């Protein structure tokens, strides 16, 4: 008998034994082709299995999650390495005119040439083993993105550049230490020092973009209710990054 488990009620993601199924979209075939390319290049990704009857099936990758707790320095460096390898590999992926990708707010920002990448690299999408990153999952937002936008989001979310109350709840280190962790991610990624100097500004743009879309995407108006926590922690995170930008810049200059 196959074990069945609902992994996400909101997104209707279901685990069935060693596979997961979720609703398919017009972009699913392009994402499956991209995942097959990455697997052939030696990256650990969920293996695409099928698209049938409006649902897509992929391999389920066993593992653990660090989220929502803090990452070690060693793991953060490895996250940077993982992102760097993904970006360098993805440059070789050939895009066809018929390829389609799901709409995503981060496609709107950034000044650099786009590559195809995961699009939603976040602690909740990284399967770990013994606290170290093992594989990226949940590729539904894969598509064209400025790699520096994606890296800036990693540098925001993994060291958790959040306001002081959340930092206290999750026993996060000081702002100075988290700024050093941003630098560790960049070192793991292989980002040259001169490119790091623009990263604080890019982190701010990325957080502002996501915060705005917390209101835009669900169509919130002055009469709306809900989505308050998503808006609240992101808005306060923007303010935290702004207040501590000098600390971030000094860490990235080293």
- Per-residue pLDDT of 52-110, as tens digits, reads 999 999 999 999 999 999 999 999 999 999 999 999 999 999 999 999 999 999 999 99
Residue 172, domain member (yes or no)? yes
User: 220 pLDDT exceeds 70?
Assistant: no
Structural domain span for residue 202: 73-253
Among 18, 37, 59, residue at a domain's last position: 59
196 and 246 share a domain? yes
Judge if 77 and 47 occupy the same domain.
no
Q: What's the mean per-residue pLDDT of the chain?
A: 92
Mean pLDDT of 38-60: 97
pLDDT digits (tens, 9 = 90+) for 128-141: 999 999 999 999 99
User: Residue 10: which pLDDT band, with cuts at 50, 70 and 90?
Assistant: low
Cβ contact 88:150 at 8 Å:
no
203 and 82 share a domain?
A: yes
Say what percent of the chain tops pLDDT 90.
77
The dihedral through the CA atoms of 80, 170, 12, 19 has a sign that is positive
Tokens of 47: 């293996």
pLDDT tens digits, 185-215 = 999 999 999 999 999 999 999 999 988 887 7
Residue 204 is predicted with a pLDDT of: 93
Residues 132 and 32 in one domain: no
Q: Is residue 119 part of a domain?
A: yes
pLDDT at 243 over 60: yes
The residues near 41 (Cβ < 8 Å, ≥ 6 apart) are 89, 92
> Is residue 68 a part of any domain in this protein?
no
CA distances, 217 to each of 104, 209, 211 (Å): 10, 11, 10
Residue 240 to residue 252: CA distance in whole angstroms? 17
Is 8's pLDDT higher than 90? no
Residues 102, 11 within the same domain: no
Q: Could you tell me if 39 and 88 lie in one domain?
A: no
Number of domains within the chain: 2
Does 67 fall in a domain? no
Look at residue 223 in the predicted model and tell me its pLDDT: 61
Mean per-residue pLDDT, 225-250: 82
Q: Does residue 101 sit in the same domain as residue 140?
A: yes
Q: Do 148 and 50 reside in the same domain of the chain?
A: no
CATH number, position 218:
3.90.1200.10
Residue 46 pLDDT:
98
pLDDT tops 60 at residue 173: yes
């Amino acid at each position: 008998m196959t074990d069945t488990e609902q992994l996400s009620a909101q997104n209707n993601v279901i685990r069935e034994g060693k596979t997961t199924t979720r609703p398919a979209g017009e972009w699913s075939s392009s994402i499956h082709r991209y995942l097959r390319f990455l697997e052939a290049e030696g990256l650990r990704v969920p293996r695409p299995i099928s698209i049938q009857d409006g649902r897509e099936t992929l391999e389920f990758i066993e593992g653990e999650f660090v989220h929502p707790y803090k990452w070690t320095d060693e793991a953060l460096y490895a996250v940077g390495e993982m992102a760097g390898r993904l970006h360098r590999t993805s440059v070789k992926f050939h895009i066809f005119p018929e390829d389609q990708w799901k709409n995503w707010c981060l496609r709107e920002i950034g000044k650099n040439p786009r590559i195809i990448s995961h699009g939603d690299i976040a602690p909740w999408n990284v399967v770990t083993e013994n606290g170290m990153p093992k594989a990226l999952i949940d590729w539904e937002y894969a598509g064209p993105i400025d790699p520096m936008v994606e890296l800036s989001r990693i540098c925001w979310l993994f060291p958790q550049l959040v306001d002081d109350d959340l930092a206290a709840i999750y026993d996060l280190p000081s702002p100075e230490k988290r700024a050093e962790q941003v630098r560790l991610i960049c070192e793991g990624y292989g980002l040259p020092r001169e490119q790091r100097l623009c990263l604080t500004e890019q982190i701010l743009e990325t957080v502002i973009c996501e915060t705005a879309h917390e209101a835009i995407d669900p169509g919130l108006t002055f009469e709306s209710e809900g989505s308050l926590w998503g808006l609240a922690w992101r808005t306060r995170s923007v303010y935290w990054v702004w207040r501590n930008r000098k600390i971030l810049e000094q860490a990235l200059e080293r």
